[in-house]
Amino acid sequence: MASNRIRERGAGSVRAVSYSVALLFIVASIVPIVWMISSSMKDNISIYRFPPTWVPTIPKAVTITLDYDGTELQSEEQFELEAMKAIWFTWKKMQNDAIGSLGVTGVKDGVTIFKAEMPSYHFTAGRPQIVPTQLFTDATMRLKLSMIREQKLTRFDWTPDGGAYDGPSSPGTDLPDTSAGVLATVNGANYLDGRVLAVTERADWTRLFDNYIVLWQMAGGKDAAYNFPKFLLNSTIVTFGTIVSHMLIGGMAGYALAHLVRGRASGLWTLFFVATIMIPEIAILVPLYLTMDKLHLVNTLWGIVLPHTAWGIVIFLFKGFFEQLPGELLQAARIDGARELAIYWRIIVPMAAPIFTVVSVMTFISVWNEFLWPLVVARKPDVWTFTVALNDFQNRQSMGANVMMSSLIVATIPLMIIIISCQRLIEKGVSFTGLKG
């Protein structure tokens, strides 16, 4: 009895080593993920700053107040043009500074007559069209104004009967860096009629998620290669289509092998299916593509899903499970006069829920991750899965690393949910496939 309480020699060192190895691996594998999240929240400028920072800086919302006392301007149109010039031209001049959003407030005779504002993702999206060069004239802005309105890039509120302006009336002396830069730019600019009354700045943490909004906004564009929600949808369709096909085709074949086909034939058919595990995907890539071409299934989601209906391991797992079901039960059902299909649907399928869930989770993980086959068979952006799209994103100049990282995170979330919530099922499935297969 007493000896039980004496600690075994080496137990302490084993425990110490075990915990530290686990800790080391976990920390080392979490660091990249933390970095991915941090990168996805950085603005276009600080993402390419070296040395990099771990915590993204909270973007600054800068507001310029312009005073129009004594100017000729009257109509809404004229003031809107002023606001657009103030925002777009100033921002273009300061495009290497991290600005979260830029706003302009117009004051005339002590009354706030307009307010305009634009977040940084709209500036990034519109920059190539609206301010391609540093040519800041009224004529260019007049030309671009319709574009800005059409794409709703800059918000403009016209409030001629607005309340009295009661904000600061001088720019102040000790402005933070960003505002000081804005002030200097606006003061030195010759494209504005108004006089700078004040420049204010506040931290706006909601702008941290701008890269995700950019991802969403790009989807609305004309170029189908940026439609990230569509790609996620395609991946979802392909994944669930494959799972359903495994339930139907694989499940039925597994049942037939376990209970309908008798004697040697069963073994031979099993071999026929399971031996295909040895056929490497890349070896049949080209003929499979040509087959799909003949069936007119290239550039369709069917073309991605259909080859997945032939997974030897799935039939193997189903067969193994169905063999464990008691034969007496089926016998009894047969005598009741139930037809084989009815037996399958009413008795087998409900009982097979455990194997169906295990196979579904395993299928989900591998099909969601799949890259090579969609890359080959989906040649048009309309049918890309997100994996193909991500690979395409990395070659596009207009995708900054920060937006890229936000797309990676969005793609990770569904898989993360499945893996964490189905951890027990995965362990089950892994022990099936790993030990037997």
344-383 residues in contact with other proteins (CB under 8 A) are: 344, 365, 368-369, 371-372, 375-376
Q: Any contact of residue 203 with other proteins (CB under 8 A)? A: no
- From the CB of 313, what's the least distance to other proteins, in Å? 11
Selected from 185, 236, 299, 309, the binder of other proteins by CB under 8 A is 309
Of the chain, the end-to-end C-alpha distance in Å amounts to 45
Token pair 């991946």 in the structure block, residue: 235
- Using the minimum distance from each CB to other proteins, give the nearer residue, 39 or 178: 39
Distance CA 384, CA 397 (A): 19
Q: What are the tokens at 223?
A: 């170029």
Q: Which distant-in-sequence residues (6+ apart) come within 8 Å of 225 by Cβ? A: 381, 384, 389, 392, 396
Number of residues that bind other proteins (CB under 8 A): 104
- Which 119-158 residues touch other proteins, going by CB under 8 A? none
- From the CB of 321, what's the least distance to other proteins, in Å? 15
- From the CB of 391, what's the least distance to other proteins, in Å? 6
- Using the minimum distance from each CB to other proteins, give the nearer residue, 184 or 375: 375
Distance CA 148, CA 117 (A): 12
- Using the minimum distance from each CB to other proteins, give the nearer residue, 101 or 402: 402
- Using the minimum distance from each CB to other proteins, give the nearer residue, 111 or 310: 310
E strand spans, 271-353: none
- Using the minimum distance from each CB to other proteins, give the nearer residue, 84 or 330: 330
- Using the minimum distance from each CB to other proteins, give the nearer residue, 147 or 283: 283
Selected from 249, 325, 349, 351, the binder of other proteins by CB under 8 A is 249
- From the CB of 240, what's the least distance to other proteins, in Å? 16
Selected from 331, 345, 380, 398, the binder of other proteins by CB under 8 A is 331
- Using the minimum distance from each CB to other proteins, give the nearer residue, 143 or 332: 332
Cis amide linkage into residue 287, ω under 30° from 0: no
Q: Any contact of residue 300 with other proteins (CB under 8 A)? A: no
- Which 265-294 residues touch other proteins, going by CB under 8 A? 269, 272-273, 276, 278-291, 293
Token pair 């920390």 in the structure block, residue: 27
Question: Measured on CA atoms in the order 196, 200, 206, 208, is the torsion positive or negative?
Answer: positive
Token pair 């800041």 in the structure block, residue: 136
- Which 25-84 residues touch other proteins, going by CB under 8 A? 25-26, 28-33, 35-36, 39, 47-52
Distance CA 319, CA 404 (A): 43
- From the CB of 218, what's the least distance to other proteins, in Å? 17
**DSSP string over 116-155:** EEEEHHHHHHHHHHH-SSS---HHHHHHHHHHHHHTT-SE
- Using the minimum distance from each CB to other proteins, give the nearer residue, 8 or 72: 8
Sheet holding 60-67, edge to edge: 155-158, 111-119, 101-108, 60-67, 195-203
Stretch that binds other proteins, among 60-68, 106-114, 159-167, 403-411 (CB under 8 A): 403-411
- From the CB of 47, what's the least distance to other proteins, in Å? 7
Selected from 59, 307, 381, 400, the binder of other proteins by CB under 8 A is 307
At residue 9, φ and ψ (nearest 5 deg) are -65, 135
CA angle at 251 for the pair 247 and 257, rounded to the nearest 5° = 170
Secondary structure class of 70 (helix, strand, coil)? coil
- Which 408-437 residues touch other proteins, going by CB under 8 A? 408, 411-412, 415-416, 418-420, 423, 426-427, 430-431, 434-435, 437
Q: Which one-letter amino acid corresponds to residue 19?
A: Y
Q: Which one-letter amino acid corresponds to residue 5?
A: R
Token pair 């194997």 in the structure block, residue: 355
- Which 216-235 residues touch other proteins, going by CB under 8 A? none
- Using the minimum distance from each CB to other proteins, give the nearer residue, 54 or 188: 54
- From the CB of 209, what's the least distance to other proteins, in Å? 19
Token pair 């494209």 in the structure block, residue: 191
- Using the minimum distance from each CB to other proteins, give the nearer residue, 77 or 281: 281
Per the document, the length of the chain is 437
Number of helical (H) and strand (E) elements in the chain, helices listed first? 22, 5
- From the CB of 345, what's the least distance to other proteins, in Å? 12
- From the CB of 300, what's the least distance to other proteins, in Å? 15
* Bridge partners (DSSP) listed for residue 202: 61
Q: Indicate the Cα dihedral angle 344, 348, 353, 355, nearest 10°.
A: -100
Q: Any contact of residue 306 with other proteins (CB under 8 A)? A: yes
